[in-house]
Amino acid sequence: MEGLQQEDLRALGPHGSQSPEKQYSWWRVMCLTGVDYFSSLGYQPGIAALAAGSVSPVATILLVLLTLLGALPVYRRVAVESPYGQGSIAMLEGLAPRWWGKLVVLVLLGFAATDFVITITLSAADASAHILENPFVPRAFSGQQVAVTLFLLALLSAVFLMGFTEAIGVAVLVVGVYLVLNAVVVVRTIMYILAHPNLIVDWERMLTVQHASPLGLLGVSLLVMPRLALGLSGFETGVAVMPLIKGDLPVRIRDAKRLLTTAALIMSAFLICSSFATIILIPEKEFQPGGKANGRALAYLAHAYLGNGFGTLYDISTIGILWFAGASALAGLINLVPRYLPRYGMAPDWTRAVRPLVLVFTVVSFAITLVFDANVDAQGGAYATGVLVLFLSAGVAVTVHAHRTGRRGRTRVFGLITLVLAYTLADNIRSRPEGVKIASLFIAAIIVMSLISRATRSTELRVSDVRLDTLAQEFVSESTGEIHLIANDPRRRDQAEYNAMLREHWYTHRLRSSEPVMFVEVTVQDASEFRSELRVRGDVRYGHRVLRVESATVPNALAALLLYIRDRTGEVPNIYFHWGEGNPVLAMLRYLIFGGGDIPGMTREVLREAEPDPTRRPHVHVG
């Protein structure tokens, strides 16, 4: 998702370019997605300790098992089924028909927006925590977490407004330095623990006192494990950046799997080691709000066991990757939204431009930062909800796909994984409902904006191309002089129907019987599609020439066909209707939802917008 240059931010979405001009080795692309995934080490250990207490290492191991045995197999399958970066959202769109598929996508986009926006605000909040807790920062900045966070968000917005360039190179440097420094901290603290075995004994004694049996310990760990779901982030972005991987399609799929597996293994190792080190070496009070390890557990250990000099270097590296994770998420947003909504006709034209979207998401990020008071722990629930919903959607998508392709073994495996992900999501929502509340606001905003945009853009031509078969082309080519078409709503399509329609229009519009006419019949295939290709087939029924059209809407299809005939023959055609019956408001709703409605009036309106010159505009006759 993350672009290389500002103009490339649109290149990688579900319906964007399948092969960007610049492609890279899989491990470099892993660093691009890793600025989001690996940056969660900045806050995950502290949040885990605060949520799970002494059992956080056990709960983290369960989370790692869910990552390696659940999320990883699911997304390796997603990579196979969506090799052009469409992701799980596009898979579900294909599984759900018509308007239901569009609604599913809009809801998932709401959760994806929650995931990405909270990534931006949470990462900025944690970066500000690392800044303010550094011993070399003047105490005058103490308590200014919100102000510093807003400054970082404004700086992020400014960078995008000026132009976001060379993301891959920066990502490789930031991720490489950050992982090396984390490895130094983890190795140093683990060695210290091994040199002082009494620390392990004290921790084991604490577990024994709090949980009498191993089964009880396991049960508590299962209950708190969903609260640690922040450590699962990054998989959806991992499949979204697949087009950046160098090679043909089979190589890209293979290396995408390698990318996902390598990132998951690296993150799993860091999560397990850091959870042990932080819970054993850091006093419990320091994890609490206001404590020195709150939101920055590994930074606390870096200062405590490697000195303030190294700790400051670690802080700078953490601030850099957290800030860059926000850049990654913002790039994802300005790529994701335009890829789906404009195709549905559910986005105004300004959403195609990068800068307006950046400003909109910056304002939203400011609002969320103020609502949550730039608190890392408070935003964890919303972030985990967005991540888990995307995981669950991926699980459902691959399970249904396996079932439809008759792969029973995979269906059972993916079905079991999906159930575990569903439990994890449900428990996270139960314990931290603010994530669903925030996502609901995003979903409501997206749906309302989408419906308004769809309604205001409904009179666009909405036809990408017009294709006629051989017989239809003959009908058009043979048309000379005035061209007359009669719009017919096909029912029985017998001789009596065509003769009755012809007599009606002869009488109503005073057509001469000697003038040749053609019938036009439009069949709506999928009214939820906003733009479609017009396929026209010629037919002869009882001596009458008929143009049979398939489209998403009737009026727009008729308007496009009329303009095509005008351009092909050089004559301005005429089309004849009879007035419809019923309430005009209901007719408008039928047009928006089912593609029908007040067909004569809407056809004329579409033509008026498409052709501003009245002398070249096809004539619409209604009687």
Can you give the pLDDT at residue 184?
A: 95
E strands in 470-573: 484-487, 517-524, 532-541, 544-551
Q: Is the dihedral of CA 268, 274, 279, 285 positive or negative?
A: negative
Q: How far is CA 531 from CA 463, 566, 580, in A?
A: 5, 21, 25
Q: How confident is the model at residue 266 (pLDDT cuts 50, 70, 90)?
A: very high
CA distance 402 to 52: 36
Q: Are 20 and 4 in contact (CB under 8 A)?
A: yes
Note the pLDDT of residue 180. 95
Question: What is the dihedral sign for C-alpha 209, 215, 217, 220?
Answer: negative
For the stretch 75-104, pLDDT in tens is: 898 888 878 776 777 777 767 677 877 788
Percent of the chain predicted with pLDDT > 70: 90
Higher local confidence (pLDDT), 298 or 162: 298
Name residue 287's beta-bridge partners.
Answer: none
Length of the chain: 623
Residue 335, pLDDT score: 67
Q: Which of 110-119, 302-311, 516-525 has the highest mean pLDDT?
A: 302-311
Which helix H or strand E contains 466, and what residues bound it?
strand 463-468
Higher pLDDT, 6 or 131: 131
Q: Which tens digit of pLDDT belongs to each residue from 476-524? A: 888 777 888 888 887 777 788 888 887 877 777 777 666 778 889 888 8
The CA-to-CA distance between both ends of the chain, in Å, stands at: 53
How far is 610 from 608, CA to CA, in rounded Å? Answer: 6
Instruction: Give me the pLDDT at residue 164, please.
Output: 55
User: Looking at the predicted structure, is the pLDDT value of residue 602 above 60?
Assistant: yes
Structure tokens at 51: 């949520």
Q: Residue 21's pLDDT is what? A: 60
Residue 269 has pLDDT above 80, yes or no: yes
59 CB-near residues (< 8 Å, 6+ apart): 48, 52, 221, 222, 224, 225, 228
Question: What's the pLDDT score for residue 230?
Answer: 63
Q: CA 43 to CA 600: how far, in whole Å?
A: 60
Band (pLDDT 50/70/90 cuts) for residue 544 is confident
Mean pLDDT of all residues in 320-342? 76
How far, in Å, CA of 39 to CA of 175, rounded? 8
Contacts of 301 (CB under 8 A, 6+ apart): 185, 189, 277, 278, 281, 282
* pLDDT value for 255: 92
Q: What integer is the mean pLDDT of 406-421?
A: 87
Give the C-alpha separation, 378 to 371, whole Å.
Answer: 10
311 and 302 in contact (C-beta within 8 Å)? yes
Whether residue 37 has pLDDT greater than 90: no
